[in-house]
Amino acid sequence: MAGLSSRLITLLLLFTTLSPTLAAPSSGCGKGPTLRNGQTVNTNINGKSRQYSLRVPDNYNQNNPYRLIFLWHPLGGSMQKIIQGEDPNRGGVLPYYGLPPLDTNKKAIYVVPNGLNAGWANQNGEDVSFFDSMLQSVSDGLCIDTNLVFSTGFSYGGAMSYSLACSRASKVRAVAVISGGLLSGCAGGNDPVAYYAQHGTSDQVLNVSGGRQLRDRFVKNNGCRPANGEAQPGSGGKSTRVEYQGCQQGKDVVWVVHGGDHNPSQKDPGQSQPFAPGNTWEFFSRFN
Ligand SMILES: *[C@@H]1O[C@H](CO)[C@@H](O)[C@H](O)[C@H]1NC(C)=O
C-alpha cells in the first residue's frame, strides 16, 4: 500500500511538473459556443466603450482547446484594417498579420481589439484591463487552451504586446514584437516570457536601439546568455536571425534585425513575401 501511494504521489508530482505543457481547457470547452466567427463584441472597461472582433475557424470544435492569438494594430490603425489588411508593398500588414494561411490545421482563434484614439496608450493600465476582459470572455465563450495564449502587433501593437509580456507573463505564452517601442508601459516586467522581435536598423519612427532595449529585458528575464556583440543585417539589408542560447526551457528569445525602415512587411532581397508572418508563426508553433 505504502509503495502504491508513494508511486501515486510520484505520478502526481510528475504531472504537476509537466502541467505547463499539458492543455488547459477553458471553461468554454465542451459547451456550445456563445461567441462566433466575425462577431464584433462590445464591452465596457473603466467606463469606456471598447470593441474587439473574433476570427474562429469554420470547423470549430467545442472539444478542441484552441490557441488564442491577440492581434494589436499600429497607431492610426484599427480592428477593421487588421481584418482586411493593407497593401504590404506600402507598409501595410496582411490580413490578421498574415497568420491564418499558415495555420493549416486551423488551430487558432484570433482576437482583434480596437484601440482608443487608434492606439494603445494604456492609460492607468486600461488596455491591459481590456486584455483581461477579452481573455475572460473568450475563455468562457469558446474552447481555448489557456496555456496557449499569444500576442503580436506592429509598432504600437508591438508595444502593447511587450506591455503584456511585462504585466501578464502568467497568461501569455509568447509574444512577437514587430518594430516595437516602449509606448504602452511595462508594469512588472520581471518575469520570463518567450519573446520574438524584429526591427529595422533604418527605422525612422521607433529606432532599433529602443527595440534592442525591449529585447534585452527578456534576454535577462528568460535567463538567456547575452549575445556576443550586436547582430547586423546582411547585404542588401537581409535579415539576420539570432537565436539566444541558454534560456530557461520554453522561454526562447529570437531577435531578427534587418536593414529596413518602420515596416511590418519587410521582405528579404529576392523574396516575394514578408518574413514577419512566417517567423511569428514558427515561433508561436514551438509551444504546445
Ligand atoms: C532612440 O529613440 C529614443 C526614444 O525616442 C531616444 O531617446 C534615443 O536617443 C534614440 N537613440 C538613437 C540612437 O537615436
**Nearest CA, atom 3, ligand 1:** 210
CA distance 111 to 145: 14
- The pairing of beta strand 48-55 with beta strand 108-113: antiparallel
Q: Would you state the pLDDT for residue 267?
A: 98
What's the domain count of the chain?
Answer: 1
Using the 8-state DSSP alphabet, how is residue 212 labeled? H
Ligand 1, CB within 6 Å, residue ranges:
207, 209-210
Ligand 1, atom nearest to 182 Cα: 4
Domain of residue 109: give its range. Answer: 24-195+267-285
- Between CA 273 and CA 70 the distance in angstroms is 22
Residue showing cell 542588401: 236
CA 155 – ligand 1 centroid, Å? 15
Which parts of the chain register pLDDT below 50? 1-2, 16-20
Ligand 1 midpoint to CA 89 (Å): 27
pLDDT at position 1? 44
Residue 269's CB is within 10 A of a number of other CB atoms, namely 11
Q: How many A from CA of 143 to the centre of ligand 1? A: 43
Ligand 1: which of 206, 209, 261, 262 to mutate, most ligand atoms within 8 Å of CB? 209
Establish if 96 belongs to a structural domain. yes
For residue 181, give the ligand 1 atom closest to its CA. 4
Instruction: Output the residue whose Cα is nearest ligand 1's atom 5.
Output: 206
Contacts of residue 123, defined as CB under 8 A and 6 or more positions apart, other chains included, come to: none
208 Cα–ligand 1 center, Å: 8
Residue 71 resides in a domain: yes
**Domain contains 260:** no
Cell for 138?
Answer: 473568450
By most ligand atoms within 8 Å of CB, the mutation choice from 179, 207, 212 for ligand 1 is: 207
Distances (CA, A) of 235 to 239, 240, 260, 268: 9, 10, 12, 10
CA of 123 to the centre of ligand 1 (A): 23
Predicted local confidence at residue 5, as pLDDT = 57
CA–centroid distance, 2 to ligand 1, in Å, is 64
- Residue 249 inside a domain? The answer is no
Where residue 173 sits, what CATH number does that domain have?
3.40.50.1820
15, 171, 251, 166 alpha-carbon torsion, rounded to 10°? -150
Among 149, 187, 196, smallest CA distance to 24 is for: 149
Residue nearest to atom 10 of ligand 1 (CA): 207
Q: How many angstroms separate the CA atoms of 101 and 67, rounded?
A: 15
Cα-Cα-Cα-Cα dihedral sign, residues 129, 67, 199, 227: positive
Domain assignment present for 81 = yes
Closest to 244 measured CA to CA, from 262, 264, 263, 221:
221
Distance CA 111, CA 239 (A): 29
User: Rounded to the nearest whole angstrom, what is the distance from the C-alpha of residue 259 to the centroid of ligand 1?
Assistant: 17
Does residue 87 sit within a domain?
A: yes
Residue 207 CA, closest ligand 1 atom number: 1
Residue 17 located in a structural domain:
no
Contacts of 47 (CB under 8 A, 6+ apart): none
Our CA angle for 115, 116, 120, nearest 5°, is 60
pLDDT of residue 21: 60
What is the per-residue pLDDT for 22?
Answer: 79
Give the per-residue pLDDT at 4: 53
Q: Please check whether residue 101 lies inside any domain of the structure.
A: yes
